[in-house]
């Protein structure tokens, strides 16, 4: 998280929530709520019923804000509280609004999870009423898009970015494990949000300094033009808040904080907010001599630190080090906590410095262009090495994805839809887990078993990584780990569980099951 420049008094910033989220899983049904009257599932159900807000939309908003982690009522960077991130700052007063609407005290709304969820539902319903949603509208989850955008406290393209994230969770589904082992789920479903005035609100400007990044300027009150020292380090931060929320906060003139770049957890998307040549307010005494990179998440919740985030951030850091002659070592790539004169603790003990620095020093992508530790959803507007992998796979299979440039444009989208139609998948043009599984497994279907080796095994391992949502090392050797992954896949897809990959298992993989 950033620091104001020396001489400024830092606004509130600390930690937000206290429940642990494990993973996103598409297409799984909601878990039954436990008997405990204080369960989070029951809190979502009660709040949804009382205020007429779709339960899954309410849960998806909470997940997007905090991974359903309330952090014992401690505030986020922009002074938001609890699972639903009710905010109290000069431009967003959703905490006070929730108190007025529910009659609950701000103290209870900050600290009690059930009350906080109730408050979030009340604020969403109030926005719905203001926007004129009637009973029929409120029954249609797609009609809530402008309400979700307004809940963000942001405006224009940043508000749309926030709402898009929530609707991605609704489309893909999610499962979160929270306090006491309770599971909170959202079932995947087709979505076609009615964006209204946000239909054309899109961030399309590219970064002037780092080509793969988007550009959204921070407020001029939150950084200084120019430098008073030579840039000789990169400082790693954690936002203590969401991606869109952080971008919005850096646009807020009252925050007096910023960083040069912000990286999203789910897919590693990067937004630049301060030019490299200018001084962002992120690390106190190190501001003048450093470049700051914020990472979406909270320091005490490792679920935010995904492999796509690590790889994307490391590619950015490597680029900056090469461009400005910064040594790629831990004396020059440092955490906020290590910057002289700072009292912050980010990125914290959950940040994997060993892995990150390995990536910074060169291992920033897939050696063969197709093998990754995880496969993230790619769609129109996405960029990067996994988009290039999609293009390569499509072109290899005769679908015209165009130039393999890592930019998901019209040609790539058309090729994806053609592939999906051929495989009996939803032809939505988005490469999610099912399409990834079908793409990666496409080709010949030789019988494989323990002891096999070669390219077909590597293809199998990549497909299992996409299908299972966990890394199956693509080393081309069918050993114990691959055998277990095959059996897990067969069991979860109601196939014969024998650890052998024959026509039935290949057919399931190639159909995206």
pLDDT of residue 22: 31
Hey, which residues does 262 pair with through a beta bridge?
271, 294
Q: Is the pLDDT reported for residue 19 higher than 70?
A: no
Q: Dump pLDDT digits (tens) for 434-457.
A: 999 999 999 888 999 888 888 889
Mean pLDDT of 332-343: 91
Residues 234-260 pLDDT 10s: 999 999 999 999 999 999 999 999 999
Which of the four pLDDT bands, split at 50, 70 and 90, describes residue 38? low
Contact (CB, 8 A) for 124 and 147: yes
Mean of all residue pLDDT scores within the chain: 88
pLDDT band at 283 (very low <50, low <70, confident <90, very high): very high
Q: What's the confidence (pLDDT) of residue 35?
A: 37
- Angle of helix 410-423 relative to helix 433-441, nearest 10 degrees? 80
pLDDT of residue 361: 85
pLDDT tens-digit readout, 357-381: 988 987 444 567 888 888 999 999 8
Q: Could you give the CA distance from residue 316 to residue 100 in angstroms, rounded to a whole number?
A: 44
What is the rounded CA–CA span in Å between residue 424 and residue 180?
Answer: 40
- DSSP state at residue 423: H
The span from the first CA to the last CA of the chain, in angstroms, equals: 40
Q: What is the pLDDT of residue 30?
A: 37
Q: Is 86 helix (H, G, I), strand (E, B) or coil?
A: strand
pLDDT tens figures, 43-98: 999 999 999 999 999 999 999 999 999 988 899 988 999 999 999 999 899 999 99
**64 touches 264 (CB < 8 A):** no
Mind listing the pLDDT tens digit for each residue in 112-137? 999 999 999 999 999 999 999 999 99
Residue 472: per-residue pLDDT: 84
Q: Any idea which residue has 């203590």 for tokens? A: 240
Q: What tokens were used for 328?
A: 């790629």
For the ranges 6-10, 381-385, 417-421, 477-481, the one whose mean pLDDT is highest: 417-421
| pLDDT over threshold 70, residue 5 | no
Please report the pLDDT score of residue 21 as a whole number.
Answer: 33
pLDDT at 224 over 50: yes
Q: Is the pLDDT of residue 27 over 60?
A: no
User: pLDDT value at position 367?
Assistant: 60
- Residues whose CB falls within 8 Å of the CB of residue 503, separated by 6 or more in sequence, listed in order: 445
pLDDT of the residue at 9: 29
207 has pLDDT over 70? yes
pLDDT (mean) for 399-426: 93
- Residue whose C-alpha is closest to residue 419's, from 402, 404, 398, 433: 398
**The model scores a pTM over 0.75:** no
User: Are the C-beta atoms of 81 and 109 separated by less than 8 Å?
Assistant: yes
203 pLDDT tier (thresholds 50, 70, 90): confident
Q: Please write the tens of the pLDDT for every residue from 475-491.
A: 788 888 899 999 999 99
Q: What's the DSSP call for residue 174?
A: E
Q: What is the pLDDT of residue 13?
A: 27
Residue 31's pLDDT band, with cuts at 50, 70 and 90, is very low
- Residue 142: pLDDT above 50? yes
Distance CA 388, CA 365 (A): 11
DSSP code string of 452-481: -BSHHHHHHHHHHHHHHTS----SSB--HH
């Amino acid at each position: 998280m950033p620091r104001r420049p020396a001489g400024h008094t830092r606004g509130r910033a600390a930690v937000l929530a206290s429940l642990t989220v494990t993973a996103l899983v598409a297409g799984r049904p909601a878990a039954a709520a436990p008997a405990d009257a204080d369960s989070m599932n029951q809190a979502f159900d009660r709040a949804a019923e009382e205020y007429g807000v779709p339960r899954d939309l309410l849960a998806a908003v909470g997940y997007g804000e905090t991974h359903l982690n309330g952090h014992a009522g401690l505030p986020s960077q922009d002074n938001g509280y609890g699972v639903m991130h009710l905010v109290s700052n000069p431009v967003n007063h959703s905490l006070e609004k929730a108190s007025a609407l529910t009659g609950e005290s701000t103290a209870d709304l900050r600290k009690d999870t059930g009350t906080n969820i109730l408050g979030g539902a009340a604020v969403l319903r109030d926005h719905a009423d203001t926007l004129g949603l009637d009973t029929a509208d409120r029954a249609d989850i797609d009609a809530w898009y402008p309400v979700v955008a307004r809940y963000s406290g942001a405006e224009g393209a940043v508000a749309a970015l926030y709402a898009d994230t929530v609707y991605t969770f609704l489309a893909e589904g999610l499962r979160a494990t929270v306090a006491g082992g309770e599971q909170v789920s959202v079932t995947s479903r087709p979505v076609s949000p009615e964006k209204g005035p946000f239909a054309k609100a899109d961030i399309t400007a590219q970064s002037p300094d780092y080509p793969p990044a988007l550009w959204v300027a921070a407020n001029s009150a939150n950084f200084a033009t120019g430098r008073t020292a030579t840039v000789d380090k990169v400082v790693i931060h954690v936002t203590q808040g969401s991606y869109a929320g952080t971008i919005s906060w850096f646009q807020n003139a009252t925050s007096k904080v910023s960083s040069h770049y912000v990286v999203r957890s789910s897919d590693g998307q990067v937004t630049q907010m301060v030019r490299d040549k200018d001084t962002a307010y992120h690390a106190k005494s190190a501001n003048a001599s450093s470049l700051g990179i914020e990472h979406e998440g909270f320091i005490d919740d490792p679920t935010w630190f995904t492999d796509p985030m690590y790889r994307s951030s490391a590619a950015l850091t490597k680029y900056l080090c090469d461009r400005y002659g910064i040594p790629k070592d831990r004396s020059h790539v440092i955490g906020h906590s290590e910057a002289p004169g700072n009292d912050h603790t980010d990125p914290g003990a959950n940040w994997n410095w060993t892995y990150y620095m390995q990536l910074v020093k060169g291992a920033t992508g897939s050696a063969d262009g197709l093998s990754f530790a995880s496969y993230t959803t790619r769609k129109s507007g996405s960029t990067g090495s996994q988009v290039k992998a999609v293009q390569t796979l499509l072109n290899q299979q005769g679908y015209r994805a165009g130039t393999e440039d890592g930019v998901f444009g019209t040609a790539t989208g058309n090729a994806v839809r053609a592939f999906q139609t051929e495989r009996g998948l939803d032809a939505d043009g988005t490469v999610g887990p099912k399409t990834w599984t079908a793409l990666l497994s496409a080709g010949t279907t030789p019988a494989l078993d323990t002891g096999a080796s070669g390219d077909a095994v590597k293809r199998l391992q990549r497909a299992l990584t996409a299908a299972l949502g966990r890394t199956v090392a693509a080393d081309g050797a069918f050993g114990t780990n691959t055998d277990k992954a095959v059996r897990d896949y067969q069991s979860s897809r109601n196939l014969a569980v024998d650890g052998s990959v024959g026509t039935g298992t290949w057919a399931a993989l190639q159909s995206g099951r």
